[in-house]
Homo-oligomer: A and B are copies of this chain.
Amino acid sequence: MSAETNETVSLEPRAEVSTVVARFEIRWSRFLDPTGKAIRPLPGLARDAAELKALYRGMVLARSFDAKAVALQRTGRLGTFPSALGQEAVAVGLAAAMHPDDVLLPSFREHGAQLWRGVSPFELFMFWGGDERGSDFAAAREDFPVCVPVATHAPHAVGVALAFKLRREARAAVCVFGDGATSKGDVAEALNIAGAWQLPAVFVINNNQWAISVPLAHQTAAETLAQKGIAAGIDSEQVDGNDIVAVREAVGRAVAKARSGGGPHLIEALTYRLGDHTTADDASRYRDDAEVSRRWAEEPIARLRQHLVAAGLWHKEDEERLLAEIAATIEAAAAKYLATPPQSPDTIFDFTYANPPEDLAEQRRAALAAAAE
């Protein structure tokens, strides 16, 4: 008796033979349109001129750091580097929404968030220059370092958030990953556990529409990435990731909720990777330049600048002063990085174990001897 006899025609559960047991919706929010015009009443934070200027500075700092890093790589003085050009509002907006005692778990494209959190440009240059000391942050000591294996830091965020919950601390773990990362099981497992245990974890999807050469449309059939959270039963929403006010507001809400015991939250920030995937990539192989040009019209820095200028909060001199100040900061950091010699070869052995076995001590001696030759 097989389905050969199956005469069912309708391909959907027919309304008359089924009842709705669960309903979900995904909401999208934006405050500033691409021209910087407020399309709806701004949240409190955006009425604070100092904060808006700080957000603006954070984005400009991030972009300047990126530009310098790319320049250093192009001249053989830095390793492969992933620029976040065009995505600054996501990184800076979420970092600004965090409290100092929250913990950031970044992917590899959140320089803007790390810088805002107090990681120095020097440290970032050191890491991307191939020196472990770059991850020994002087500030933000509990923040996680850059995570290269895509999505593998999502479970770490669950553990960090669990630590906060077990210690009854009002803190949040904020984890950022890309659109491609959402296809990886690690993210699904992490979201599900964060939901099951109602942990103070905020997950931000930095949706720049591409995973190297794979466009979002090939990554998933999901209409939004925010709905990945529905599978975990956690609140999920979408924001215009090129509107830093929207990012800051949504993450601010999520962080406040997490810190007050309200449980986890997933935010998909819609942005666009204006540059190559990394300095090792040539996006023109797989991506239409016209698409990129179109997207430049939506980029976050000009958008906020236009808003500030229109509001009479920002003038030519402010811009010049800011660019000069930031250039000096970045150049100083780069110079310090370039002037920093590599560690001694035997530091390869430091920190492999807190209590290294004799065996390793012997290898350490051999390594020093070999290096001496």
A: residues with CB less than 8 A from B are 1-8, 10-13, 16-29, 31, 40-41, 43-45, 48, 50-51, 54-55, 96-100, 183-189, 192-193, 195-196, 198, 218-224, 226-235, 237-238, 249-250, 252-253, 255-257, 262
Contact = CB atoms under 8 A, between A and B. Distances in A.
Given A29-B17, A96-B3, A230-B227, A8 B249 contact: yes
B220 A195 contact: yes
Contacts of A21: 26-28, 223-224, 238
A234 B222 CA distance: 8
A295 to B, nearest CB: 19
Contacts of A5: 45, 48, 51
B224 A22 contact: yes
A19 B28 contact: yes
Contacts of A238: 21
A196 B221 contact: yes
Copies per assembly: 2
A261 to B, nearest CB: 11
A48 B7 CA distance: 11
Contacts of A249: 8, 17
Contacts of A98: 2-3
The 3 closest A-B pairs by CB, nearest first: A185-B185, A188-B188, A221-B233
A328 to B, nearest CB: 20
Contact of A227 (B20, B24, B26): B24
Question: In the complex, which of the residues A22, A26, A224, A234 has the most CB atoms of chain B within 10 Å of its own CB atom?
Answer: A22
Contacts of A19: 27-29
Contacts of A7: 44-45
A55 B5 CA distance: 13
A230 B237 contact: no
Given A3-B97, A4-B99, A45-B6, A196 B219 contact: yes
Given A17-B40, A222-B231, A256 B11 contact: yes
B231 A231 contact: yes
B10 A253 contact: yes
Contacts of A256: 3, 6, 8, 11
Contacts of A48: 5
